[in-house]
Amino acid sequence: MAVSLETLRLEAPSTGTVEWRLSDASVGYEDAVAYMQKRAAAIAAGEAPEQIWLLEHPPLYTAGTSADEGDLTEPDRFPVHKTGRGGQYTYHGPGQRVAYVMLNVKERGGDIRCFVRGLEKWLIDTLDTFNVKGERREGRVGVWVDRGLKEDKVAALGIRVSRGVSYHGISFNVDPDLTHYEGIVPCGITAHGVTSLVDLGHPVSMSDVDAALRASFENIFGHTVTVGS
């Protein structure tokens, strides 16, 4: 039976809390992946608590496991990183909040499709904080906004699950340079574009978004505790 987005909750049955980590300095992509892999393994082994890691990357493109090389239209524009997450090509860079999600999916029910719906609901609820209606679309992962004559993606997600623990995560466009998406076909979709909160007329700060992300996350996935960067 389908799970209602309005009632979806994915709190872990354990009494543990999720660490909430924020890095102020830009983080290199390979360094971030190495950290996530090590942390996910520690979570799976019961040696570390779950963690959400908020950061920004320097300008770069990533290629997911379903990436089509033809969708990389400007291969020399920014560094390109092949990655083990699901999905196709996407962009990361300044003005975009990346949240890496290292959660024990197995302990939260083990249903990966339900887990992904929970991540989408997290983004939709965060957008609602700023009076922006985010929507899901069948066959298109991520969160979209209807702009009348067109639909644009405002947030993307792609995860990998290893030994029951997720890593990689979501990217939320606050105020990135949207022209940087011109070097790829984002997520392999040509019929729609990309946008950001600022592009939609909501000049919010990154700290405003971080606060909204945390509040929306806790409503779905449970309590968080702040840890150092």
State pLDDT tens for residues 120-152.
999 999 999 999 999 988 777 789 999 888 899
Give the pLDDT band of residue 164 (cuts 50, 70, 90). very high
Whether the full predicted model's pTM is greater than 0.75, yes or no, is yes
Please state the domain count of the chain: 1
pLDDT at 189: 57
Rg of the Cα trace of the chain?
A: 17
Nearest CA to 64 out of 87, 81, 80 is that of: 87
d(CA 192, CA 212): 26
In a domain, 107, yes or no: yes
Which residue is associated with the tokens 């644009």? 152
3-state SS class at 185: coil
209: in domain: yes
Determine, yes or no, domain membership for 113.
yes
Domain assignment present for 8: no
Residue 187 pLDDT: 57
- Rounded CA-CA distance 63/84 in Å is 8
Q: Which of 193, 228, 115, 124 is nearest to 161 (CA)?
A: 115
192: containing domain: 18-227
End-to-end Cα, the chain, rounded Å = 40
Whole-angstrom Cα distance, residue 111 to residue 32? Answer: 26
Q: What is the pLDDT of residue 101?
A: 98
**Any idea what the CATH number is for the domain that residue 192 is in?**
3.30.930.10
Q: Which of 152, 58, 130, 38 is nearest to 98 (CA)?
A: 58
Residue 117 carries which side chain, given as an amino acid letter?
R
pLDDT at 38: 98
Catalytic residue list: 187
Summarised one tens digit per residue, pLDDT across range 32-81 is: 999 999 999 999 999 999 999 999 999 999 988 888 888 899 989 999 99
Q: Is residue 69 part of a domain?
A: yes
Kindly report the CA angle at 29 between 115 and 71, in degrees rounded to 5?
Answer: 75
